[in-house]
């Protein structure tokens, strides 16, 4: 590796001047600057990232912690983060927590050891977990730049963003109710997953609003995987008094329900209407196309990266942003069968 000293030597000057010249900082005569640039190029000089970082205390790297990159809602979010980050000169480190609080904490610890400039925590159950809240507080106090995505409970000392899960669920449920369904099954996520809880609350509130009794027997708890949607959906459909509509807390499970309905020979939406949440790519490819709640994934990612990097670039701002994005219900054939052209 060629160092700044070698460049300085060949250019008959010193490291300080080379540094200033190459970084366009401070004064340096046009002529010496040109000379230095020529020599640097000839020697194929490239600054040593680590050394520079050690000095400047900036790595130009942000870390992203998400439950699982293989979960179809994340790639697009990640792409949004990456594009914005690259645009602003940052690289992106990505790790999976599998939504395990211990793992999230472990990763937060690793990344806060001065290897990255900031961290985006796309939390699983996340902020709902006490240990994680404490960890976040601690990091924030230690000056670690952090943005939390997903569900945010308290006024944590971080910037955060999430979509309005309650509202989204409320609205799809209302859509189903308006179609005349009064027995709607809900397939939730893991009991401790805050996102699922919120969606469940939205579902419940909509029922209430329509004067329909909330009934525990119509709520099943899955794990956000297709298999669980399939199993629980099948169970719902095989009951003596099966619900006429099923709303799953995410699209992946909703697709499982569609497969179950198909297997049982139930027509969708005539015999059973099905709705999901997320609007993953495949929601509009599967047949029937899936009614769901759409969140602008790419934009969420992009916005998250922007918030984080902005936070990185300012000192001691103790007012935190809390952005809650409005979701949008997308009505498709799985609840309403009518061609619109």
- Residue of 165, 159, 224 lying closest to 189 (CA atoms): 224
94 binds, among DNA, a second copy, none (CB under 5 to 8 A by kind): a second copy
Two tokens at 330? 């997308």
Residue 37, C-beta contacts closer than 8 angstroms, at least 6 positions apart? 21, 22
By beta-carbon proximity to DNA, the closer residue of 3 and 284 is: 3
Among 9, 79, 133, 201, binds a second copy (CB under 8 A): 79
Among 9, 10, 15, 150, binds DNA (CB under 7 A): 15
Subset of 94-123 contacting a second copy (CB under 8 A): 94-96, 109-110, 112-115
A 10 A CB-CB count for 19 gives: 19
76 binds, among a second copy, DNA, none (CB under 5 to 8 A by kind): a second copy
Would you say 147 and 159 are in contact if contact means Cβ atoms under 8 Å apart? yes
By beta-carbon proximity to DNA, the closer residue of 114 and 239 is: 114
DSSP string, 44-101: T----HHHHHHHHT---EEEEEES-TTSTTHHHHHHHHHHHHHHTT-EEEEEE-TT-H
| 44 touches DNA by CB under 7 A | no
Among 61, 88, 219, 242, binds a second copy (CB under 8 A): 61
DSSP string, 90-119: -EEEEEE-TT-HHHHHHHHHHHHTTT-SEE
Number of residues near DNA (by CB under 7 A): 32
* Positions that interact with a second copy (CB under 8 A): 1, 46-51, 53-54, 59, 61, 63, 68-70, 72, 74-76, 78-79, 82-83, 86, 91-96, 109-110, 112-115, 226, 255, 259, 262, 281-282, 285-287
């Amino acid at each position: 590796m060629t160092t700044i000293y070698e460049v300085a030597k060949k250019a008959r000057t010193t490291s300080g001047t080379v540094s200033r010249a190459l970084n366009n900082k401070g004064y340096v005569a046009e002529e010496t600057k040109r000379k230095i640039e020529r020599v640097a190029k000839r020697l194929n000089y490239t600054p040593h990232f680590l050394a520079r970082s050690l000095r400047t205390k900036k790595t130009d790297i942000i870390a992203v912690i998400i439950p699982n990159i293989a979960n179809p809602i994340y790639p697009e979010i990640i792409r949004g983060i990456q594009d914005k980050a690259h645009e602003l000169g940052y690289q992106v480190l990505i790790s999976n927590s599998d939504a395990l609080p211990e793992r999230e904490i472990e990763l937060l610890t690793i990344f806060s050891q001065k290897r990255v400039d900031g961290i985006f925590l796309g939390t699983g159950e996340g902020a709902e977990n006490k240990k994680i809240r404490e960890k976040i507080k601690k990091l924030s106090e230690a000056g670690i730049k952090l943005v939390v995505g997903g569900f945010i409970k308290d006024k944590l000392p971080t910037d955060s963003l999430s979509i309005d899960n309650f509202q989204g669920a409320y609205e799809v449920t209302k859509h189903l109710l308006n179609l005349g369904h009064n027995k709607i099954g809900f397939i939730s996520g893991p009991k401790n997953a805050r996102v699922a809880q919120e969606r469940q609350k939205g579902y419940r509130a909509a029922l209430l609003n329509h004067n329909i009794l909330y009934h525990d027997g119509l709520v099943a708890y899955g794990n956000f995987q297709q298999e669980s949607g399939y199993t629980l959906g099948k169970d719902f459909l095989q009951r003596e008094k099966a619900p006429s509509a099923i709303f799953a807390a995410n699209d992946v499970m909703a697709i499982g329900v569609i497969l179950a309905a198909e297997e049982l020979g139930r027509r969708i939406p005539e015999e059973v209407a099905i709705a999901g949440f997320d609007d993953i790519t495949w929601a509009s490819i599967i047949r029937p196309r899936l009614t769901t709640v759409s969140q602008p994934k790419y934009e969420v990612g992009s916005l998250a990266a922007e918030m984080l990097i902005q936070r990185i670039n300012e000192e001691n701002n103790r007012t935190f942003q809390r952005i809650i994005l409005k979701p949008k219900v997308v009505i498709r054939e799985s609840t309403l069968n009518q061609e619109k052209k």
